[in-house]
Chains A and B, each alone.
Chain A
Amino acid sequence: MTLLVLADHDGQRLDPASRSVLSAARQIGGDIHLLVAGSGVEAVAREGAACAGVSQVLWADAPHLRDREAANLAAQVLALAPAYTHILAPASSCGRDCMPRVAAQLDVEQISGIVAVHGPDTFTRPIYAGNVLATVQSRDPVKVITVRCPAFPPVGEGGAAPVEAIPAVPDLGLSRVLERRLDDSGRPDLGRARVVVSGGRGLGSRENFQALLQPLAQRLGAALGATRAAVDAGYAPNDWQVGQTGRIVAPELYLAIGLSGAIQHLAGMSDARVIVAINKDPEAPIFQVADYGLVADLNQALPELLAALG
């Protein structure tokens, strides 16, 4: 078996999510090749070559691959596809955008968001907002897979794979990215932060969200998250949403503040190692999944917490 992993990166660094995909690929077994496609991404290719378990890095470089637009990226993967039994990518916005195109053009069903590997063709994936785990077996000749990264420990260093420059596919010219607005707060990314501070509608206003959660996140080096209700109420931007239809996170510590614990939200954070809930309603469902619950008014508890942390 030879596996192809499509790397996620920001043009400068290999995204840690890719190390989790490599980890899933190692569980499947076989020779692992890493495809680094982008513009001016030799450094990313070198970083990939040093990842444990990678036996070959394929490096495709062209201006029209810079934005990792789905059609061009899928075409690049498809150009290599005949040599592989498995093609994997993270279940990130890029992987979710591109991989179904790859699967459709190979005439195979994709296996989305796997959380466990049972063999070369059998995997577990969550359905129904994580309320059910389905174990599926693919009969297709090629397995096209996206990986839910928090479920697999990232591989470390130790590889010394050769880097081979490969020709970039021609620009299909179907779409172009005009602009990207990315969070530049300096806080860690929600998907890979060790600590996440998340707020719900209990915060009461956008101002409170900022005034109470921001300093706490700052102090803990945490990413900020929010419930769908808080985002809908305009307290927090869309990309902070944690849940079935937002980001899936599995940090060491998840602080759930002023949020009730809707199923939709729990689907995005139930795999955190330690969950802390602060809510004034002792009946809030979040307390049923929290390791530590504090029934308190967050307007008092949060400043106290911040002061006690020093």
Chain B
Amino acid sequence: MKVLVPVKRVVDYNIRVRVKADGSAVDLADLRMSLNPFDEIALEAALRLKEGGLAGEVLAVSCGPAACQETLRTALAMGADRALLVETDVELQPLAVARVLHAVCAREAPGLVLCGKQAIDDDAGQTGQMLAALLGWPQATCVSELQLVEGRIRATREIDGGQEILETRLPAVVTADLRLNEPRYTSLPNIIKARKKPLDSTCPAALGVAVAPRLQILGVSEPARRRAGVKVQDVAELLEKLRQEAGVLQ
């Protein structure tokens, strides 16, 4: 069974982004970029399935500008067998990515798509579910434990107020939550080996997919910052303030 892992190039999670002075967009110039952390977890899960003999080839796919090659090289260094870049400079929104991936799935016929539950830049959390819908496949989102049992997936999902065990048919789309695993570090020899692994590229038009954005960003701003309040001396003063000043306690 081939496993397809979509990977997104995002601003590194340690970086606090700023808005451009004219409020038109987030200023991404010269920022350190990384593989989206949730996609890294998804890739790790795919690699573990392969190492456990439950999956065959692991294919990493990225959509975006030429610089996404770096992201794909990281995926190859982690252990993906092959990579595909769907290159475009158009700003991609979730449905566009899902449609591109749908076209890639038609060509590659994976038995499982493993992706991150959300990208940490747009925080949309949609692509996996959209892809599942376009393929007519089941999905298991926000997965923190994954088993393949007799050709089916058994997944523990993180839901509001607890967990759910979901069983789905294959093929399926699974989206990884934070605690599915701890991704491995890439070693220097693997980084060097990754340079020789196949990295193909295509473009949305070649796949027959239109990717023009449907949502127009009218502007971005930074939220009003909370200001630091006061320091209290002790518990008694804290309670007095909460009761008298803030009125949140009786």
Contact = CB atoms under 8 A, between A and B. Distances in A.
B25 to A, nearest CB: 9
Contact of B141 (A96, A190, A195, A252): A96
A238 B223 contact: no
Given A177-B166, A239-B161, A290 B228 contact: yes
Q: Which one of A138, A190, A238, A288 has the greatest number of beta carbons of chain B within 10 Å?
A: A238
A245 B231 contact: no
B95 interface: yes
Given A134-B220, A178-B167, A245 B159 contact: no
B51 to A, nearest CB: 24
Main secondary structure of the interface of B (DSSP, over half): mixed
Contacts of A173: 169
Contact of A252 (B133, B165, B248): B248
Contact of A112 (B123, B216, B232): B123
Interface string A261-286: 00110000010011110000010000
B126 interface: yes
Contact of B166 (A175, A181, A301): A175
Nearest to B121: A128
A113 B249 CA distance: 30
Given A131-B16, A175-B138, A182-B162, A104 B98 contact: yes
Contacts of B159: 93-94, 180, 239
Contacts of B230: 291-293
B206 interface: no
Interface stretch (A33-41, A158-166, A302-310): A302-310
B95 A135 contact: no
B214 A108 contact: yes
B222 interface: yes
A52 to B, nearest CB: 24
A133 interface: yes
Given A71-B139, A274-B242, A112 B125 contact: yes
Interface in B141-180: 141-142, 144, 154, 157-169, 177-179
Interface residues of B, number: 80
Contacts of A112: 123-126
A47 interface: no
Nearest to B153: A175
A200 B37 CA distance: 22
A105 interface: yes
Contact of A139 (B26, B38, B98, B214): B214
Contacts of A136: 215-218
Interface in A172-197: 173-183, 189-191, 195
Interface string A118-133: 0000100011111111
Contact of A137 (B218, B236, B249): B218
Given A135-B217, A136-B218, A293-B231, A175 B168 contact: yes
Contacts of B215: 109, 111, 136-139
Contacts of B67: none
A179 B164 contact: yes
Q: Which 10 A-B pairs have the closest CB atoms?
A: A174-B138, A100-B129, A291-B229, A104-B130, A101-B133, A100-B126, A182-B162, A175-B168, A93-B159, A104-B133
Interface of A: 69-71, 74, 92-94, 96-105, 107-113, 122, 126-140, 173-183, 189-191, 195, 220, 228, 231-232, 238-239, 244-245, 247, 252-253, 263-264, 270, 273-276, 282, 287-296, 301, 304-305, 308-309
Given A181-B164, A292-B232, 20 more contacts: A70-B129, A100-B94, A112-B123, A128-B11, A131-B17, A135-B220, A138-B216, A174-B137, A177-B165, A180-B162, A191-B160, A239-B158, A239-B163, A245-B38, A245-B178, A252-B248, A253-B249, A274-B246, A291-B246, A304-B235
26 contacts: A70-B129, A93-B157, A93-B158, A99-B129, A100-B94, A108-B95, A108-B214, A113-B123, A128-B26, A130-B223, A133-B222, A136-B216, A175-B166, A176-B166, A177-B165, A181-B164, A238-B177, A239-B161, A292-B241, A292-B242, A293-B230, A294-B235, A295-B231, A296-B235, A301-B235, A305-B238
Interface of B: 11, 13, 16-17, 19, 26, 38, 93-95, 98, 117-118, 120-134, 137-142, 144, 154, 157-169, 177-179, 213-223, 225-226, 228-232, 234-236, 238-239, 241-242, 246, 248-249
